[in-house]
A and B are shown apart, each in its own frame.
Chain A
Amino acid sequence: MVFEWLSNFWHWIVSTIEFMWDKIPFLLEGAKLTIYIATMAFFIGLAIGVIMGILRVSGIGVLEKIATLYVELIRGTPLVVQILIVYFGIPIVTGLRFDPILAGILTMGLNSGAYQAEIVRSGIKGIPRGQLEAAESLGFTYWQSMRYVIIPQAIRIVIPALVNEYATILKDTSILIIIGVAELTRKGQYIAAWSFRYFEVYITVALIYLIMVLLISRAARILERKLRIPGLGVTGARI
């Protein structure tokens, strides 16, 4: 009984591998596009995040309100809806048509910007007040203090959170399937649709995502070690 079940399972595994083997390059092409979109979106998001994050703690009423509005607007609406608006909605109003990949990158970048703004803001808040005081006592303007003293420390503190955000974006690119971007999930869907082997195909797709995420967190640990500075970081300054 048990033996029979094991034997069936083994056959299923073998046949799955046999079936999937030559489809892997096709899927990896999709994975490449997934990485490309996620990376572009991440850095657009980082740029927005740093600016918005600073504005949110700037103490300048108007700018703070604008940044807060941005963050709440983005975080309060579903990513899928945002993508539909950018890809289908905006062309109708403006006549400006994006190709699906560009629409995906822009939307996900704008979306991630709001989350990264919150990450950057928490990083800035985590820097002891004395740092800003010391910088200002030396004659730095508020913006110089931010640029040379606060932000470089804040970014180091939030590296784990940023990496986490990158992994999230990478996985979220799968919803670009709704506008037909040929990323990893879409490629899988294509194979599944003609072979009807939904289970095997999507398990393989899931595994590829998993491997990418694991590689990212491994790379992040190396980056963290590279950027590590004695006395700075999770353990806090030694006095």
Chain B
Amino acid sequence: MTDPILKVKDLHKSYGDLHVLKGVSFEVKRGETVVIMGPSGSGKSTLLRCIIRLVEPDSGDIWIDGVRVTDPKTDLIEIRKHVGFVFQQFNLFPHMRVIDNITLALTKVHKLPEDEAVKRALEVLKKVGLEDKAYAYPGELSGGQQQRVAIARALAIEPKLILFDEPTSALDPELIGEVLKTMEQIAEEGKTMVVVTHEIDFAKEVADRVLFIDYGRILEEADAKTFFSNPKHPRLRAFLRRLLERV
């Protein structure tokens, strides 16, 4: 299967006068990890949200596994059932224990029987190293642990594709590592991932390809090595310089 699992074509989105996405096109192949970088306000989060239509794009097309997401007749639930989304703010459900956070969608959306859902929840929790926290509330966990639970929740639906929206930006520096490690491990298992992040090391080591987005357009696209060692677009060069200075 060499066909792209995700295909985005000429995507546009405006908020009022603000033209956030001005014709974004790219593809992601099965099993690939693609990192999207870019200055804040460049439309990265909007782009990810458009992919599962949490935000409605103004024009352009998106296909996931051959299904046209942007077709008004497409069943959005059916699309979202097979795409995981990990948020910057984790967005765990604070009134539910960790395990219920994971099983809720499995039983209510995927219609799995309760015992099977619990079994699968424990499996994914084990994968992110938090099976001992299954019966804790999100509020009892550190930010890093919460984000790993959020990743487990996304994994549990056995998605064809997982979207990460700056998964480490809301974390204290000392907690970033554990989350990146979990993501790296998932990438190694061959999951298809699209990751918006500022973490250069993660991009260098894990990404197959890196996209640079600014002013609502993709300005550069290259394999991870070329992207960092030989950036072509002047805006990307300036961006990378700023990122490196920060470290």
Q: Mark A118-154, 1 if CB is under 8 A from B, else 0.
A: 0000000000101101111111110010001100110
Q: Mark A224-237, 1 if CB is under 8 A from B, else 0.
A: 00000111100001
| CA distance in complex: A153, B110 (Å) | 23
Given A133-B54, A137-B52: A144 and B137 within 8 A (CB)? no
Q: Select from chain A the residue with minimum beta-carbon distance to B138.
A: A231
Q: Are B85 and A237 in contact (CB under 8 A)?
A: no
Q: Are B94 and A229 in contact (CB under 8 A)?
A: yes
| CA distance in complex: A239, B90 (Å) | 9
Given A139-B77, A140-B108, A144-B108: A134 and B91 within 8 A (CB)? yes
Cβ 8 A contact of B139, one of A128, A136, A138, A231: A231
* B80 contacts the other chain (CB 8 A): yes
Q: Are B87 and A139 in contact (CB under 8 A)?
A: no
Q: Select from chain B the residue with minimum beta-carbon distance to A231.
A: B139
Count residues of chain B with CB under 8 A from any CB of chain A.
30
Q: Are A131 and B93 in contact (CB under 8 A)?
A: yes
Q: Select from chain A the residue with minimum beta-carbon distance to B143.
A: A239
| CA distance in complex: A138, B91 (Å) | 11
| CA distance in complex: A162, B218 (Å) | 51
Q: Are A229 and B104 in contact (CB under 8 A)?
A: no
| CA distance in complex: A139, B91 (Å) | 15
Q: Are B137 and A137 in contact (CB under 8 A)?
A: no
> Beyond A144-B109, A149-B93, A237-B138: 18 further Cβ-contacts under 8 Å?
A128-B89, A133-B54, A133-B87, A133-B91, A134-B85, A134-B91, A137-B52, A137-B54, A137-B80, A138-B80, A138-B85, A138-B109, A139-B105, A141-B77, A229-B95, A231-B137, A237-B94, A238-B139
